[in-house]
Amino acid sequence: MVKMKIALVGITGYGGMVLYQMLQGHSHVEQIDLYGHDQDETLSLSEVVPLLGDSEHQVFPYNSETIMKQDDAIFFATSAGVTAKLAGPFIKHHFPVIDLSGDYRLKQSDLYEKWYHKPAARQEDLTGAHYGLTDFNSAKEQTYVANPGCYATATLLGLAPLIQEHLVDVDSIIVDAKSGTSGAGKKLSEMTHFTQVNDNLQLYNVNHHKHIPEIVQQLKQWDRNVKAIQFSTTLLPITRGILSTIYVKALPGINAQQVDDAFHKIYDDDTFVRYTGEKLPTIKQVVGTNYCDLGVLYNDTTHTIMVASVIDNLVKGAGGQAIQNFNQMFDFNDQDGLPTAVILP
């Protein structure tokens, strides 16, 4: 069996922590080397992330040459703007990279700068990066994979059958997406303070969320007539999970059976997408797993299709999909290292 040494940059964020835990259970990973991109000395993991309580492992200062000498692939679980500065040597040497940040998801540098408000990576590198929506875009034979955002994953998986099968008016897409607080990251803010989150719902970044352009970019790959979407985001008083509720108008002559057939056609053979028909899914049934569950209702009166898409934002929406990309990249079993047991209660 092939055994690999993996570099992980960015262990301090929630996404990096969960990715680290999942990689420890991967049958092809024999060693995980941790690096901090903003530290200049070696620290114990228990110092850097007390929650993990691991005093045996260390977090080393970041060095691209060291990584390429002793590791076989690298995961970046860093915030936006970091990999655009660090990824150059890996791209130059075609070293395998899976990037959980948004720095290489968009194909146009000006679009990245508009939505992320940071300097973009080189245009040729953006063009060459692979957008790793694993259920549709295989990472096999790719070397730089841009892992999709959590909202983007839930929304695109919900829309894919409708757009690919040309069942809907592409100018009528409305998305009401909601996320737990871990999606906002560890950085403190007034919005994520307990007294603000508890017993409350908060709309934020309506029509300005940075995952919007990557959603539209992928939709355009499926149907070039897509121009834009109406997209709102709400912060939920829960820790993990995303519910993306999608509303879209069916084209004349399209009925509920055709919609149902489209979802079966696209997802019946998909390991990690479970289509539940008219039984609408809840966040609780996917928390802790790499599943995306999709339920669909068709309103005969208004000719509106509603899709409910749920994922765990830290697994299928981040580290889990990153491991799926890793498995595709190296032709490993698609389920290796990925959790399927729901966290209960």
Residue positions annotated with a catalytic role = 150
Sequential DSSP letters for 228-274: --EEEEEE-SSSS-EEEEEEEEBPTT--HHHHHHHHHHHHTT-SSEE
Question: Taking the CA of residue 89 as centre, how many other CA atoms within 13 Å lie in the half-sphere pointing to its CB?
Answer: 11
Tokens of 123: 């245009």
- The Cα 195–Cα 198 span in angstroms is 6
- The Cα 79–Cα 83 span in angstroms is 8
- Coil, strand, or helix at residue 315? helix
Residues pairing with 273 in the sheet:
292
Give the chain's count of helices (H) and strands (E): 12, 15
Residue 257 φ/ψ, nearest 5 degrees: -65, -40
- The Cα 112–Cα 76 span in angstroms is 18
- The Cα 173–Cα 4 span in angstroms is 43
- Coil, strand, or helix at residue 133? coil
Judged on CB neighbours under 10 Å (0-12, 13-18, 19+), 19 is: buried
Distance of CA 84 to the CA centre of its chain: 18
Among 153, 156, 160, 162, which Cα is nearest to 305's? Answer: 162
Q: How do strand 230-235 and strand 174-179 relate by DSSP bridges?
A: parallel
Residue 284 φ/ψ, nearest 5 degrees: -55, -30
Residue 119 φ/ψ, nearest 5 degrees: -60, 140
